Amino acid sequence: MSKEKFIEKILLFIALSSIAILGLIAFFIFVEGVPLIWKVGLQKFLLGDRWFPSQGSFGVLPMIMGSFLVTLGALIVGVPLGVSCAVFLCELTPPTFGLIIRPMIQLLAAIPSVIFGFWGLIVLVPLIRENLGGPGLSVLAGSLVLGLMILPTIISISEDALRALPRTFKEGALSLGATHWQTIWRVLLPAARSGIVASIILGMGRAIGETMAMIMILGNAVQTPLSILDSARTLTTNIGIEMGYATGDHRQALFATGVILFFIIMGLNSLALIVSRRRGP
């Protein structure tokens, strides 16, 4: 066997191993969680608003709403900042300044989520409680922290999408008399649309899967939040908080929550792949 063939077999084995590990994880989650969904009923499990495992009530609608509201708030905070920063790095900043900013953004991605949660608990929560009212542990605090956490993903992928555009796009617009801002707004951003949308979807997946920081600053109340100042609980924090002591149907219900989260994240990742493969504006 030639050296190239041997390396090819090794790489194929590694790729298949990754797929097998993902398959085993999915199989384990489904084996543990699907029986409870079957027992309770999919509609009652998804649309029920009561989560009292000791009484046999397993409704995850408040956690689903909490997850989506916090994620939506994170996107409202992170998307404008992230895309604007990507445009700034590509079009407005001097090259030497960009060499300083990019490692700082990468360092932001390397900060553990518990540090973000601790900062939110010490700084944001008291600030919200004193100025806006409520407990402080709220959807607003979670959205602000998650908005910061997804910035590196959005900035990096959006910047790559902008830098991958042919220079003729920019040169053609400028030669026709467009200003620099008009070129960015009317030509470059629409042309890089697929990459920017992919970055947003991946940031959304990052936000909806966050656990530790949300445990610290959301308040973890099992209720459907009616205001950004209300406490909430997400699907991931529900699993993280209760898995340590859950048994029987309660434990299976947490795995069933993982099944719902699995489908949500897989759907977001699939959407990101579809969007990122689109060509042209």
Residue predicted with more confidence, 116 or 56? 116
Residue 116 pLDDT exceeds 80:
yes
Q: How many Cβ atoms are within 10 Å of 47's Cβ, its own excluded?
A: 12
Q: Is the pLDDT of residue 281 over 60?
A: no
Task: Write down the pLDDT at residue 280.
Answer: 45
pLDDT at 234 over 50: yes
pLDDT at 274: 76
Q: What CATH number does domain 51-276 carry, 1.10.3720.10, 3.40.50.300, 1.10.10.10, 3.40.1260.10?
A: 1.10.3720.10
SS (H, E, C) 135-183: CCCCHHHHHHHHHHHCHHHHHHHHHHHHHCCCHHHHHHHHHCCCCHHHH
> Could you state, in order of their start, the residue ranges of all structural domains in the chain?
51-276
